[in-house]
């Protein structure tokens, strides 16, 4: 990272001389940096992508359990993501150039900055993909809501320890999942992230009871059969 930064600084300073070759080299370096960042992100994010695959279609979200049954633990998929995120900073540091050869304190600080940078990007991607998965859940029973809220609260606690960036959207979701269905309309007026309103309204729709067939139509069918 240090050498790449030095090279970028050198090329930028040379670009001011209006020499075409340096301007072209700067553009190529910028494109290469974007490609490398995309590859690094894909490698770091793959385990989270795999863990969240198929989550919207799990039976647990629409399951009906005994009334009063408590949800005690987050599900395996979110625990595996939490474990991975906890290990991620050390994993990145172990792969940083010079991390194991006693580099000076300044280099150690640079490695820590690189680690925080990538952890923040992976965490942001994790939250975004989780929100997409939640939006894709067809229905949410009462017990499904409690389980999803438990999973989100677990992830929120993990992120609090890893990142300085707050994720109020997760707090909004937990409140919407915990409140009574009759209170959802009021709760929607008190969210911290109104820009996520389409997701919040989708939660309300998923929690609404299925519409029963009209009684009149049922009576007509019965009278016709007689």
The residue with greater pLDDT, 171 or 29, is 171
Structural domain contains residue 134:
yes
Q: How confident is the model at residue 68 (pLDDT cuts 50, 70, 90)?
A: low
Q: How many domains does the chain have?
A: 1
Question: Residue 130: its pLDDT value, please?
Answer: 98
Question: Residue 105: its pLDDT value, please?
Answer: 42
pLDDT at 107 over 60: no
pLDDT at 86 over 80: yes
What is the C-alpha to C-alpha distance for residues 159 and 85, in angstroms, rounded to an integer? 8
Structural domain contains residue 161:
yes
Structural domain contains residue 216:
no
Q: Which domain holds residue 104?
A: 35-209
Tell me which residue has tokens 């499904």.
Answer: 144
Structural domain contains residue 5:
no
Question: Residue 201: its pLDDT value, please?
Answer: 95
CB contact set of 202 (below 8 Å; sequence gap of 6+): 135
Structural domain contains residue 217:
no
Structural domain contains residue 220:
no
Question: Residue 28: its pLDDT value, please?
Answer: 57
pTM of the model: 0.75
What is the C-alpha to C-alpha distance for residues 196 and 128, in angstroms, rounded to an integer? 11
What is the C-alpha to C-alpha distance for residues 130 and 133, in angstroms, rounded to an integer? 5
Question: Residue 97: its pLDDT value, please?
Answer: 55
pLDDT at 61 over 90: yes
Question: Residue 164: its pLDDT value, please?
Answer: 78
**Residue 11 phi/psi, 5° resolution?**
-65, -40
What phi-psi label fits residue 165: left (phi over 0), alpha (psi between -120 and 50 degrees) or beta?
beta
**Rounded (10°) CA dihedral 138, 49, 41, 39:** -110
11-25, 177-191, 210-224: which is most confident = 177-191
Structure tokens at 82: 């939490």
State what percent of residues in the chain have pLDDT above 90.
56
pLDDT at 52 over 50: yes
Long-range pairs, 41-45, Cβ under 8 A, ≥24: 41/118, 41/121, 41/122, 41/125, 44/88, 44/92, 44/118, 44/122, 45/122, 45/125, 45/126
Mean pLDDT score of the chain? 80
Lowest-confidence pick of 25-39, 53-67, 147-161, 206-220: 206-220
Structural domain contains residue 225:
no
Structural domain contains residue 41:
yes
Is residue 127 within 8 Å of 167, Cβ to Cβ?
yes
């Amino acid at each position: 990272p240090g050498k790449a930064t030095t090279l970028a600084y050198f090329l930028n300073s040379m670009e001011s001389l209006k020499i075409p070759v340096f301007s072209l080299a700067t553009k190529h370096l910028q494109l290469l940096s974007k490609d490398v960042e995309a590859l690094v992100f894909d490698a770091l994010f793959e385990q989270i992508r795999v863990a969240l695959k198929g989550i919207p279609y799990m039976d647990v979200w629409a399951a009906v359990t005994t009334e009063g049954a408590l949800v005690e633990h987050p599900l395996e998929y979110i625990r595996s993501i939490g474990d991975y995120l906890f290990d991620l900073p050390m994993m990145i540091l172990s792969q940083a150039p010079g991390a194991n050869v006693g580099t000076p304190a300044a280099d150690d600080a640079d490695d820590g900055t690189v680690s925080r940078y990538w952890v923040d990007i992976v965490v942001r991607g994790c939250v975004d993909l989780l929100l997409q998965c939640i939006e894709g859940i067809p229905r949410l029973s009462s017990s499904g809501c409690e389980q999803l809220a438990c999973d989100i609260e677990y992830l929120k606690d993990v992120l609090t320890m890893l990142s300085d960036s707050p994720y109020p959207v997760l707090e909004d979701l937990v409140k919407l999942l915990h409140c009574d269905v009759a209170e959802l309309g009021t709760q929607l007026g008190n969210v911290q992230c109104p820009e996520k309103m389409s997701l919040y309204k989708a939660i309300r729709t998923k929690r609404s009871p299925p519409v029963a067939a009209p009684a009149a139509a049922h009576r007509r069918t019965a009278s016709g059969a007689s």
